[in-house]
Chain A
């Protein structure tokens, strides 16, 4: 049990920040390689003409999910110490809807907008500025409804806990769904083109 190497609470060290940058570089590189630094390609996801977003996203989710599960299963990674994003059901449902609408409108998401801006896309830079304005506005606006923002908090709640099945069963099910989804994506791209 030696991973994760840096405890989540000790992230102010320079080493952790160096690791953050290295991981960021690999992240940005992967996004750009996949073609996710260009808005029309991402917009194709919502027009159902180019499902690259779905394919990349779910291959990544499945890879990391299987990797994390098996590393933990073999005792190499203490999965309990990996930060699971916390659940706030209603704010995440509403936030997700808004996020998706904005994504569809601008054709980029926060991470990919940084790649787009860094590779010279003016629209990417505008999305970055818009994101910043939105976050700034939301941060100031939240003072007025803190109770709603904190509502339906469930902490680090996972699907295995929700469904009362072993972690591995959910991992298997998500993998199966993703593989079926990839088949469906190939079919949709062929049909709609």
Chain B
């Protein structure tokens, strides 16, 4: 398990699609969201919505007091939010695609020089920092960068440039993590 990933499919995984074609496909999905729903894609909003639901279940007063959570409690409740259904679809779509391409596999992907445990810790830490950033920025790669990028929102482009800058700033420190 440590060396050889346990492949679920018998045949070899298919190579990934051409990035530009995949990008055009992704753009078409985004455009479909504009046309059908009048809004873009999103991911971090779904996390916020679920977090809002969890907090509201434990302590409604805390949820209402938070400028982040209260927003997700307004319309229809956190469990019937558009983004929660969308993110469930993302997981399902990703699963189906990987299954068709023979890319489903139970493993921890990591750089060659770090242990599995460290990789999992860093994944959690990175996820937390990213979550904090997404809350402050009110969106993530999908909700702000892709959606707002296509709609030419100033804040989205600020976020996009800042995110790349942040990524490249810490990248030199992460050489041992990935290479």
Contact = CB atoms under 8 A, between A and B. Distances in A.
A and B assemble together:
yes
Nearest to A80: B38
A17 B77 CA distance: 13
Contacts of B111: 40, 43
Contacts of B94: 28-29, 31-32, 37, 114-116, 118-119
B60 interface: no
Given A88-B155, A95-B133, A30 B22 contact: yes
A106 B159 contact: no
Q: Which secondary structure dominates chain A's binding surface?
A: helix
Contact of A139 (B55, B95, B121, B149): B55
Interface size class of A (residues with CB under 8 A): 35 or more
Contacts of A24: 85-90, 92-93
B96 A46 contact: no
A70 to B, nearest CB: 10
A130 B127 contact: yes
A22 B89 contact: yes
Contacts of A137: 128, 131-132
A161 B154 CA distance: 9
B28 A119 contact: no
B95 A119 contact: yes
Interface residues of B, number: 129
Q: Which secondary structure dominates chain B's binding surface?
A: helix
Interface string A40-75: 110111110000100111111111110110010000
Contacts of B52: 139
Interface in B76-129: 76, 80-83, 85-98, 101, 103-111, 116, 119-129
A164 B110 CA distance: 46
A137 B69 CA distance: 11
Given A20-B86, A25-B93, A61-B146, A8 B38 contact: yes
Interface in A111-148: 111-124, 126-140, 142-143, 146
Given A28-B97, A89-B155, A119 B128 contact: no
A157 B148 CA distance: 10
Given A30-B25, A138-B132, A139-B55, A65 B152 contact: yes
A68 B86 contact: no
Given A28-B94, A30-B29, A99 B155 contact: no
A95 B137 contact: yes
B16 A92 contact: no
Given A33-B16, A167-B152, A71 B35 contact: yes
A114 B72 CA distance: 20
A67 B17 CA distance: 22
B137 A91 contact: yes
8 nearest A-B residue pairs (beta carbon): A24-B89, A134-B131, A130-B127, A59-B23, A63-B27, A106-B126, A100-B166, A96-B162
14 contacts: A17-B82, A23-B41, A39-B123, A57-B145, A64-B27, A96-B163, A105-B122, A111-B90, A116-B109, A118-B94, A120-B106, A122-B106, A136-B131, A140-B55
